[in-house]
């Protein structure tokens, strides 16, 4: 006898409740553990700087998107395993299956939950999560007024880049800036620009204590510069010390030069796209970290759905030994995914693998494994990865 639609809706609500309740508890518990551990790390600095509770609340509230994105996959996996183990031990899965409900129908509420968590993760990882992660060090340094070993405020390390090199290979210019604001909007201090011809010969050098840019006229202004010119052989042919020099035709902008000081993992999707558009003429090695993280912004949250897709057929069983073996297999797959994600991400950032495959290869492998396991479990092949015989059968031996 096939259950009615009302019965199936009641079953869906029951299964969703059995998953969402432990998921909520797990997420809150892990957030509490993170909060206590992070506070313990900075507690002395906060007390010495007399940081108020309101400031601490704003700091950690701003960090929530980044932490939640990282915790969603593991919380989803653990909640699913707990729910299925409890249902198996109470023989509820056996009763539902005996009533004529298919395996695919049973796991559909869990898959829907994983899909919703993935969409939430993508929304957070689009902008809020990477920016929150990148801003934490700056905010802590601002609240505590802490200093480096050389006595310089740590806040300057986050706000300014010191001794920055920027190479414009297309136009043959090498920039050295002693001090610049990472987010742009302030004059460069201690600027040296080396101009080369197409053959790589140095034809001019510019040195100025300050340089600014007029966006309307697209002109650089060098204050009290020293301008030296060379011939093709490298011999000095002229030297000037004007009070100021206005230069048009340079394609660099302060935002483009300053963007090279930013780390790709801390940029939002919009900022990554803007950087890639502004530096389209850059080398593949220079752009590889930014291209890889652009794809990874969407690949990382998908782990919540994919882990549910793999863990459901592994951990759903009617014999206790098979359930335990399936749970162990799901946990092993999770740590394998973490290792592969970091490994492929490093290959992509190092320009040793295509950015798309570096970001998506672990997820695509997990998707393929989940679809295979889901199909075989739907066909009642319960020996999947739960014993040596099941492993041999799965591999086709």
Average pLDDT of the chain is: 83
- CA distances 9 to 14, 80, 140, 302, 305, Å, are 9, 19, 49, 26, 22
Q: Which residues of 279-305 are buried (b: 16+ CB within 10 A; e: fewer)?
A: beebeeeebbbbbbbbbbbbbbbbbbb
Q: Which helix (H) or strand (E) holds 16?
A: helix 5-49
Q: In whole angstroms, what is the distance from residue 78 CA to residue 58 CA? A: 29
DSSP string, 281-342: TS-HHHHHHHHHHHHHHHHGGGHHHHHHHHHHHHH--SSHHHHHHHHHHHHHHHHHHHHHHH
Instruction: Name the residue with higher pLDDT: 181 or 57.
Output: 57
- pLDDT value, residue 117: 94
Are 279 and 291 in contact by the 8 Å Cβ rule? The answer is no
Confidence bin at 320 (pLDDT 50/70/90): low
Vertex 265: Cα angle to 146 and 49 (nearest 5): 15
pLDDT tens digits, one per residue of 172-200: 899 999 888 776 667 888 999 999 988 88
Kindly give, in sequence order, each residue whose CB lies less than 8 Å from that of residue 16, ignoring residues fewer than 6 positions away. Answer: 109, 112, 113
Q: Which two tokens stand for residue 192?
A: 């040296």
- pLDDT value, residue 25: 94
Q: Which two tokens stand for residue 61?
A: 């509230």
- CA distances 389 to 45, 257, 329, 383, Å, are 57, 60, 15, 8
Q: In whole angstroms, what is the distance from residue 160 CA to residue 379 CA? A: 60
Of the chain, the end-to-end C-alpha distance in Å amounts to: 38
Query: Token match 């782990």: residue?
Result: 303
pLDDT tens digits, one per residue of 349-368: 999 999 999 999 999 999 99
Q: In whole angstroms, what is the distance from residue 87 CA to residue 75 CA? A: 18
Q: In whole angstroms, what is the distance from residue 142 CA to residue 136 CA? A: 10
Over residues 149-159, the mean pLDDT reads 60
Q: What is the pTM of this model?
A: 0.78
């Amino acid at each position: 006898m096939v259950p009615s639609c009302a019965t199936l809706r009641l079953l869906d609500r029951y299964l969703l409740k059995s998953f969402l309740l432990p998921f909520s508890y797990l997420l809150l518990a892990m957030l509490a553990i993170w909060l206590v551990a992070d506070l313990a790390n900075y507690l002395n600095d906060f007390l010495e700087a007399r940081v108020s509770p309101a400031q601490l609340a704003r700091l950690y509230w701003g960090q929530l998107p980044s932490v939640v994105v990282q915790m969603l996959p593991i919380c989803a996996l653990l909640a699913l395993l707990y729910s299925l183990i409890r249902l198996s031990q109470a023989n509820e899965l056996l009763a539902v299956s005996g009533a004529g409900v298919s395996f695919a129908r049973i796991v559909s509420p869990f898959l829907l939950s994983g899909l919703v968590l993935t969409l939430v993760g993508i929304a957070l990882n689009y902008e809020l999560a990477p920016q929150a992660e990148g801003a934490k060090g700056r905010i802590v340094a601002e609240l505590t007024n802490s200093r480096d070993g050389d006595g310089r405020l740590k806040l300057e390390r986050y706000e300014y880049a010191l001794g920055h090199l920027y190479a414009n290979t297309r136009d043959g210019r090498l920039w050295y800036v002693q001090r610049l604001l990472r987010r742009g909007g302030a004059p460069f201090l201690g600027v040296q620009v080396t101009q080369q011809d197409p053959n790589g010969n140095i034809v001019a050098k510019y040195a100025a204590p300050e340089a600014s840019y007029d966006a309307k006229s697209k002109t650089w202004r060098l204050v009290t510069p020293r301008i030296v010119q060379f011939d093709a052989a490298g011999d000095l042919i002229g030297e000037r010390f004007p009070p100021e020099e206005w230069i048009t035709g340079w394609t660099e902008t302060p935002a483009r030069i300053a963007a090279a000081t930013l780390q790709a993992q801390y940029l939002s999707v919009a900022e990554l796209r803007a950087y890639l558009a502004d530096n389209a003429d850059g080398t593949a090695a220079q752009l590889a970290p930014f291209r890889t993280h652009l794809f990874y912004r969407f690949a990382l949250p998908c782990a919540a759905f994919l882990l549910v897709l793999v863990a459901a057929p592994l951990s759903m069983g009617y014999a206790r030994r098979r359930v335990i073996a399936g749970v162990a297999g799901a946990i092993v797959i999770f740590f394998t995914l973490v290792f592969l994600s970091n490994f492929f991400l490093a290959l992509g950032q190092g320009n040793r693998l295509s950015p798309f495959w570096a970001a998506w290869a672990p997820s695509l492998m997990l998707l393929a494994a989940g679809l295979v396991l889901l199909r075989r479990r739907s066909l009642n092949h319960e020996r999947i990865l739960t014993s040596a015989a099941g492993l041999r059968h799965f591999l086709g031996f």
